[in-house]
Amino acid sequence: MVYNVIGVTSGTSLAGLDVVFVALTEVRGKWSYEIKAAERLAYTPEWEEKLGGAANLPARDYLLLNSEYGHYIGHAINQFISQHQLDHQVHFITSHGHTVFHVPAQKMTAQLGDGAAIVAVTGLPVINELRAMDIALGGKGAPILPIAEQLLFPDYKYRINLGENATIAAEKEGQLIAADICPCNYVLDALAETLGRAYDDEGKLAAGGITDQPLLNALNGLAFYNESYPRTLASKFGTGTVMPLIQQQQLSTQGKLNTYTHHIAAQIEKAVKVFPSQKEGEEGTTNNLLLTGGSTANTYLIKVIEETLQPLNITVTVQQDAFRNALLIALLGTLRWRQESNAFASVTGAEKDSVGGALWAV
């Protein structure tokens, strides 16, 4: 069966709206994909301000923005369809929306982007609110992408995404387990911004710094890193714990970047050790690791990770795809369309597996 799906995502970095048109094919339980069109639609300064300040709006204004942003997504998709000549080819849309609130401890999550508004503008069925059911069932609603990763990239023992947070997914005792490892490019970018850079290009700044062992020890000793799986990072961990700890050190920015790079690698090593290693001569998946996400462009970070994992005999494969998250969101929506589980309790800690997503149609 082939599903022609548009996947839409918006990250907290406010880099823009990622839109992909992908053909997802399922044959006897095996999935494959072909991205036929993809584009990042940059936000205007006005939209950056609106989305960036959404958490501080009164309830009425927040709901008005939810509707406005849904119409914005709808018009962006129409523009995308027209530009790439996709009329009458799209079966449905999966929109993750833009996360503003995520409070799993109180069973609440909220992503901007009204599904009904997207349908009204595009005339196409829309699936959104992908996290809501898992949250209602007591799950953390995150990470949500490992299930889609497992289906599209099943030949890797470990799958690690280097995004705003570093996340890991792997199987243990027959169950898919996933967790946030540590803040990643969120912290690296924030440090680079203190030097007027949007990010540390290829990790050159970090490579020129010196590792500060006391800071590295302090970072590695944070209580979060001893929590059991599944686990998810609250946004305030980066802003309220990690960054203040780094900034109080009397170090150069390059030294801070270098130290934090080694911290990421150390936590990845620790996360990998949670899962049993493949022993020589055993059948099945070898000790291979797929690295994805925005920070795969940070060649220094990749080098440090590879060196750190070398004693564990893990083969690292780097996959760079700017539209990977939108692709995976499209597959999660397709599972919802098929009424198949797209949120696993073993990943999020919910009461049970669930079929997440609200379906809107005219």
Q: Based on the domain organization, do 74 and 129 belong to the same domain?
A: yes
Q: Based on the domain organization, do 31 and 161 belong to the same domain?
A: no
**Total tally of structural domains belonging to the chain:** 2
> pLDDT above 90 covers what percent of the chain?
80
Q: Based on the domain organization, do 204 and 258 belong to the same domain?
A: yes
Question: pLDDT, tens digit, for every residue of 44-53?
Answer: 999 999 999 9
CB atoms within 10 A of CB 81: 21
- Average pLDDT, integer, range 352-357: 96
**Predicted confidence (pLDDT) at residue 300 exceeds the cutoff of 60:** yes
Query: Token digits for 162?
Result: 């280097």
- At 323, the amino acid letter reads F
Q: Based on the domain organization, do 159 and 294 belong to the same domain?
A: yes
Confidence of residue 167 (pLDDT cuts 50, 70, 90): very high
Would you state the pLDDT for residue 85? 97
**Predicted confidence (pLDDT) at residue 348 exceeds the cutoff of 80:** yes
Helix (H, G, I), strand (E, B) or coil at 241: helix
Would you state the pLDDT for residue 285? 47
Contact 21, 35 (CB under 8 A): yes
Would you state the pLDDT for residue 284? 47
Helix (H, G, I), strand (E, B) or coil at 299: helix
Taking the C-alpha atoms of residue 107 and residue 141, their distance in angstroms, rounded to an integer, is 9
Q: Based on the domain organization, do 6 and 124 belong to the same domain?
A: yes
Taking the C-alpha atoms of residue 244 and residue 246, their distance in angstroms, rounded to an integer, is 5
Query: Token digits for 154?
Result: 């099943």
Q: Based on the domain organization, do 289 and 343 belong to the same domain?
A: no
Q: Based on the domain organization, do 288 and 151 belong to the same domain?
A: yes
Q: Which residue has the higher pLDDT, 163 or 304?
A: 304
Contact 38, 326 (CB under 8 A): yes
Would you state the pLDDT for residue 277? 64
Question: What ranges in the chain are assigned the alpha helix state H?
Answer: 45-52, 59-83, 115-122, 132-136, 146-152, 185-193, 204-207, 213-220, 235-237, 243-247, 253-272, 299-309, 324-337, 345-348
Query: Token digits for 1?
Result: 């069966």
Q: Based on the domain organization, do 174 and 310 belong to the same domain?
A: yes
Would you state the pLDDT for residue 278? 54
Range of the domain at 241: 146-318
Taking the C-alpha atoms of residue 80 and residue 38, their distance in angstroms, rounded to an integer, is 9
- Average pLDDT, integer, range 301-313: 95
Question: pLDDT, tens digit, for every residue of 74-118?
Answer: 999 999 999 999 999 999 999 999 999 988 989 999 999 999 999
Helix (H, G, I), strand (E, B) or coil at 177: strand
Q: Based on the domain organization, do 200 and 331 belong to the same domain?
A: no
Q: Based on the domain organization, do 256 and 115 belong to the same domain?
A: no
- Average pLDDT, integer, range 150-169: 92
Would you state the pLDDT for residue 23? 98
Question: pLDDT, tens digit, for every residue of 205-262?
Answer: 999 999 999 999 999 999 999 988 778 887 678 888 999 999 999 999 999 999 999 9
What is the overall mean pLDDT for the chain? Answer: 92
Question: pLDDT, tens digit, for every residue of 11-45?
Answer: 777 889 999 999 999 999 999 999 999 999 999 99
Which residue is it, tokens 């082939």? 2
65, 321, 302, 91: which is closest to 202 by C-alpha?
Answer: 302
Helix (H, G, I), strand (E, B) or coil at 26: strand
Q: Which residues have C-beta within 8 Å of that of residue 154, sequence separation ≥ 6? A: none
Q: Based on the domain organization, do 332 and 311 belong to the same domain?
A: no
Contact 15, 343 (CB under 8 A): no
**Predicted confidence (pLDDT) at residue 280 exceeds the cutoff of 50:** no
- Residue 65 is part of a domain; what is its CATH number? 3.30.420.40
Q: Based on the domain organization, do 187 and 56 belong to the same domain?
A: no
Would you state the pLDDT for residue 172? 84
Would you state the pLDDT for residue 281? 44
Which residue is it, tokens 């942003």? 69
CB atoms within 10 A of CB 303: 14
Question: What ranges in 278-323 are assigned the alpha helix state H?
Answer: 299-309
Would you state the pLDDT for residue 256? 97
